[in-house]
Structure 1
Amino acid sequence: MKKELRIKKNQDFQVVFQKGRSFANRQFVVYSLEKEGQSHFRIGLSVSKKLGNAVTRNQIKRYVRQAIFELKEQLTPGNDYVIIARKPASEMDFFEIKSSLTHVLKVGKVLRKND
């Protein structure tokens, strides 16, 4: 995923937490904030140390990034998203993570139908 598509700064995360809306399932919490004048979406990832060691956390982040990469055509552009992984995500493989993310994004109505 390109660098301009990532949220890195703490201040950017805080703005999304405070002004955005959230939706969740058992594996992920997603905060979404519409940004005026932004042509592309940005993703921020948060994986707690409670989920496992660095290897596990990095694997979860890689899986989430790949899932978002595959869903990028369906995601609403111009939004900032912060994705927080919950404990069950540490025992999931890539396909389970992708389907769980798809579900939570549909719940939040930020995933366009691609029929």
Structure 2
Amino acid sequence: MSDQKLPKRERLKFNKDFKRAFEKGKRIIDTYFVIIYFENNLRYSRIATVVRKDFGKAFQRNKIKRYIREIYRTNKTFFPKGYDFVFIPRKFLSDNFCKVSYSELREMILSMVKRMTKNEEVCS
């Protein structure tokens, strides 16, 4: 049960870490999300969500951030350890946010993570 917590150390918060992820990280692009991931040489993964100001109203921006944190928190076993993840919701999701359920977002993110792990196994 303790693995379902989201401690502060698992949050990406420093500008240098964001800069490194954006410059050197790999990307997985889908209809609703872009996930940037970068190996961080730690024994745990860290996450962040970047939501543009043109993504709906403030409550929608906050809601998508809560959804992403919750998806990560409850499904940590699917995410590889030792990576920084930056989730960026795309404009198409902003336009259709009220029509998309939490479970659909969860399945989409988990399928993207599975694609990422397959890509990393092939490259290694």
**TM-score of Structure 1 vs Structure 2, range by shorter chain:** 0.7 to 0.9
- The one-letter code of the counterpart of 1:3 is K
Q: Give how far 1:51 is off.
A: 1.1
Q: TM-score, normalised by structure 2?
A: 0.81
Q: Gapped runs of 5+ residues in structure 2?
A: 1-5, 119-124
**Distance across 2 between alignment mates of 1:53 and 1:76:** 32
2:92 to 83, 88, 99: 88
- 1:101 aligns with 109
Q: TM-score, normalised by structure 1?
A: 0.87
**Distance across 2 between alignment mates of 1:22 and 1:16:** 10
Query: Hey, which of these two has a bigger chunk of helix by percent?
Result: 2
**Distance across 2 between alignment mates of 1:99 and 1:56:** 19
Q: Is the CA contact 1:20–1:33 (under 8 Å) kept in the aligned structure 2?
A: yes
**Number of residue pairs matched by the alignment:** 109
1:7 to 8, 12, 36: 12
Q: Is the radius of gyration larger for structure 1 or structure 2?
A: 2
Q: Gapped runs of 5+ residues in structure 1?
A: 111-115
1:50 to 51, 54, 58: 54
When the two chains are superposed, the root-mean-square deviation of aligned CA atoms in Å is: 1.3
Q: Give how far 1:99 is off.
A: 0.8
Q: Give how far 1:70 is off.
A: 1.7
